[in-house]
Structure 1
Amino acid sequence: MNKTYIIISPSFPEFTEQDFFGWFHVKLVPVLASFTPEMLRGVTTNMNCTNYHIIVSGMAKVVSAIPQQRLQEIADVLLEYLQDSAAVINQPDCRTGIKTDAQWIETNLGPFSPYITYSELKFFNLSLGALVNVLSPTQKAELIMDPDSGGLEDAILVKEVLTNLTESGDEEQLGQFFQVFTQILQQTNTTFILNAAVRETILNLTLNGLAPKFVSFEVEDYELWFQVYLVPVIASLHPDSLRVIPSNISCESYEAIVTGLMESLEFLPLGISMDVRASLESLQETFPDCAELDSFTCKETHVDEMLICWGVDSSQLQKTLEDNNSTSAVCNFTIIEHACTTPTNLTAGNLATLLTCSVESNKPYVVEVWQLLFHKASPILSQALDMFATMAPTTMSSAYSNALDALGEVVVKKLTQDELKSKDAIRSRFQMELRPFLASPSTNFLSCLGTYNFSCQTYQLV
Structure 2
Amino acid sequence: VINHGDYFNTNKIIKNNISTDYFSMRFLTFVDRLLADEYEGKAVSLFLLLYLSLTTVMNDSLQSYLATSNTANVPCTFTLEEYACASLKDFTAEHLVSLLRCNLPGNSSHSKETWKVLLTKLTSVLDQALDMFSNMSKPVIGPAVSQALDVIGEIRVNRLTEDQLRDSDVIRKWFSGRLRAFLSSASGVFLHCLSTKNLSCDSYQQILREFSNQFDQMDQMRQELLVKYFIQPFLTKNSSDSGCVSNSNNSVAWLQKNLGRFSVLVSLSDLLKLNTDFSPLSALEVLSPKQTAELVVLPLPGLPGKDVIINTVFDFLSKSPKERRLPEFLYHLSRLSVVTPVNCTVYQTIFVRLYQAMSALPQEMEPIIWASVYDLTESAPMDCSLVPCPVSSHNATRVCAGVDSSALQQLLDSGISPGRLCDYSIKQYTCSQLKDLKAENLVTLLKCKLSENNTDSKETWKLFFTKSSAVLDQALVLLSNQSEPVIGPALSQVLDVIGEIRVNRLTEDQLRDSDVIRKLFSGRLRPFLPSASGGFLHCLSTKNLSCDSYQAVVKEFGAQFDHMNLEQQQLVLKELVVPFLSRPTSDSGCVSNSNSSVDWLQKNLGRSQFLCPSGTC
Q: Are 1:143 and 2:240 an aligned pair?
A: no
Q: What is the SS of the residue equivalent to 2:416?
A: helix
Equivalent in 310, 315, 330 of residue 234 of structure 1: 330
Give the aligned partner of residue 343 of structure 1. Answer: 438
Q: 1:220 maps to what in 2?
A: 308
Alignment equivalent of 2:227, drawn from 129, 132, 140: 132
8 Å Cα contact 2:296/2:309 also seen in 1: no
Paired residues for 1:373-388 under 5 Å: 373-378=471-476, 380-383=478-481, 386-388=484-486
Tell which has more relative contact order, 1 or 2 (C-alpha 8 A, sep 6+). 1
- 1:257 match: 350
Within 5 Å, give how 1:159-308 maps onto structure 2. Answer: 161-162=265-266, 170=272, 173=275, 176=278, 182-184=284-286, 206=294, 210=298, 219-223=307-311, 232-238=328-334, 241-242=337-338, 244-247=340-343, 251=345, 253-259=346-352, 261-262=354-355, 266=361, 269-270=365-366, 272-282=368-378, 286=382, 288=384, 291=387
Structure 2 equivalent of residue 360 of structure 1: 455
Q: Which runs of 5+ in 1 are unaligned?
A: 1-47, 60-77, 92-97, 146-157, 186-191, 194-198, 296-311
Q: Could you tell me the TM-score, scaled by structure 1's length?
A: 0.50
CA distance in 1, matches of 2:383, 2:496: 22
Aligned CA RMSD, in angstroms, stands at 5.7
**Structure 1 or 2: larger helix share?**
1
In 1, the alpha carbon distance for the partners of 2:524 and 2:534 equals 15
Q: Give, in whole Å, the separation in 2 of the partners of 1:332 and 1:124.
A: 48
Shift of 1:101: 3.0
Give the total of aligned pairs. Answer: 331
Contact 1:353–1:388 (CA under 8 A) maintained in structure 2:
no
Shift of 1:180: 9.2
Give 1 or 2 for the bigger CA radius of gyration.
2
Cα deviation digits, residues 333-375 of structure 1 (max 9, x gap): 3358586433265275542123346952114216755754432
What is the Cα deviation at residue 85 of structure 1?
A: 5.2
Tell me by how many angstroms 1:314 deviates. 6.0
Identical pairs, percent = 9
Counterpart amino acid of 1:342?
A: L
Cα pair 1:82 1:89 within 8 Å, conserved: no
Asked if the contact 1:339–1:370 (Cα under 8 Å) also holds between the matched residues in 2, the reply is yes
Residue number in structure 2 paired with 1:53: 161
Give the deviation of 1:441 after TM superposition: 1.0
Matched ranges for 1:108-123 at <5 A = 109-112=199-202, 115-116=205-206, 118-122=208-212
Matched, 1:392 2:489: yes
Alignment partner of 1:82 is 2:200: no
Alpha-carbon distance in structure 2 between the residues aligned to 1:138 and 1:402: 46
Is 1:396–1:437's contact at 8 Å kept on the other side of the alignment? yes
Equivalent residue for 1:437? 532
Deviations 1:201-228 (A, max 9, x none): x689x48993576999554345566766
Question: What secondary structure sits across from 1:245 in the alignment?
Answer: coil
TM-score (norm 2): 0.40
SS of the residue 1:342 aligns to: coil
Residue 417 (structure 2) aligns with? 322
Q: Could you tell me whether the CA contact under 8 Å between 2:281 and 2:309 is conserved in 1?
A: no
Q: Which residue of 1 aligns with 2:191?
A: 101
Amino acid at match of 1:392: P
Query: Does structure 1 retain, via aligned residues, the 8 Å contact 2:427–2:456?
Result: no
Query: What SS does the corresponding residue of 1:109 show, helix, strand or coil?
Result: coil
